[in-house]
Every structure is written in structure tokens, then in C-alpha cells.
Amino acid sequence: MRLCVPVPCFFRDMDFCDAIRRIKALGFDAAETYNWKGLDLDAIRAACEETGVELLSMCTTEFRMTNPAYRQAWLDGLRESCLAANRVGAKKLITQVGPDTGAPRQEQHDAIVTTLKLAEPILEDTGVTIMIEPLNTYVNHPGYYLWSGMEGFDIVREVGHPLVRIVFDIYHQQVMEGNIIPNITKNLDIIAHLHSAGHPGRHELQYGENDYKVIFAAADKAGYTGACGLEYSPLMDPEESLKEAKRLYG
């Protein structure tokens, strides 16, 4: 399993390019971030090329897909974010789908599918993969629409485009549905990225109820070739936490 370091989780107060260099020094070759606006994308690309650290993903600027009234804003934000991803060298973008509007769930489900289908020309023009993300509503994201990983898989399969995929966050899905290993291994064809954290608390992997060694081994055996972001709030010193994650799971 290739481990990926989300820069804001560990190096929030460090210059981004220096953080890329620290990630390399700690023995990792993959990073990700969220809000890309305000970053020096050209400098980051140069730092990644200098170190060999791949910036795997960033986030879109807009997240509202459940309400058709915001569809054009989401598509405009997608295009802007795809161009930014091209500029910095990232091949994937993460997007959320927005809040539960209170409309019938099938209407919101269909709105997400329609928006993603309309995104296809933008994705094809730029070569960027968009990844929708199911999140937990019990602890971190009350009111969010897409809490079910299984519905996320259904959405991606309904869209049916190779540049529309899912980021499967093991922490969020442990909170909501469990059944982690089968849900990953049976859906590897549409999972483009994994996220991880220990539950409860969203801290180091080894402090939670999941055995990540078993999960990662099962994903590897099933043929997963992507990465897993260490998307947690460290209780340890951030660099010591990454060293321990590398020792345990790298």
C-alpha cells in the first residue's frame, strides 16, 4: 500500500514546498491537499519534480451537487480546479456532493448523477479524474447527503465514465456502514483513492478499532494499486506520527 501524506494534516503552518521536502525526507513519495487557492502552483510543481513526491489530489472549489440551482457554479468550479490540477501536476480532484436539501433522496441522487455526466467534457479536456466522497454524518458532517459508500458506488456506476470515481474513506465508512474489506475489495474498479484514520477520534491508525494492517493487506491482495491518504489529526508529534505510520504500514 502506497501511503499518501495530506499536507494540511501534518504541516499546516509550514511553507507548502518545504512540507513537500519534509515528506520526501520522511520516506514518502505521495502527498495531497485540499484548498488549492492561494498556493503557488508553479512552485509546488517544481518542488514535486525536485523531490519525486507526487501530488496526487486536491479539492474542487464548489461542493453543492444535490441542488440543481448550484449546478453551473459547481461545473465552473470544476473547470477552474481541473486547470489548476493540470498546472500543479495533480491527476485527481476530490469533491463533496453537498448537503441534504430535504428534497426526496432520489431527486438529490439524480441531481448528482446529472451533474457528473455534464462534467464529462471538462474531465476529458483536462484528463483529470473527479472523485466523490461519502462522509459520516454522525460525528463530523451532520446534514451531508452522501453518507453511504454503497450509494456512492451506485452513483459512479450510473455515471459510467472512467474519469468519475470514488474516494473511499475508511474512517467515515467505519462510522456509517462498517463492512470495510468487502466494500473495498468488491469495488476496486471504481475506487481511485483511499483515506484512513483511527476510529473513534480520527487520530493515528493504530489507535482505533480497525486493524489497518489487515485492511491494507486485503486491498493489496485484491489488486488495489492506488494510495491511501493518512487523513487524521495526529496525537503524536506530526513527524514522529508519520514515521510510525511508515514503520507500521509502509
Per-residue pLDDT at 227: 98
Per-residue pLDDT at 141: 98
Per-residue pLDDT at 168: 98
The parts of the chain modelled with pLDDT lower than 70 are none
Each as own residue / partner, the long-range contacts of residues 197-203 (CB below 8 Å, 24 or more positions apart, any chain) are 197/170, 197/171, 197/230, 197/231, 197/232, 197/233, 198/171, 198/232, 199/171, 199/174, 199/175, 200/139, 202/139, 202/140, 202/171, 202/232, 202/233, 203/232, 203/233, 203/234, 203/235
pLDDT in tens, 74-93: 999 999 999 999 999 999 99
Per-residue pLDDT at 103: 98
Query: 2-249, which class in CATH?
Result: alpha beta
Per-residue pLDDT at 171: 98
Per-residue pLDDT at 182: 98
Per-residue pLDDT at 209: 97
How many residues appear in the chain?
250
- Domain limits of the chain? 2-249
**Mean pLDDT (the chain, rounded):** 98
Per-residue pLDDT at 233: 98
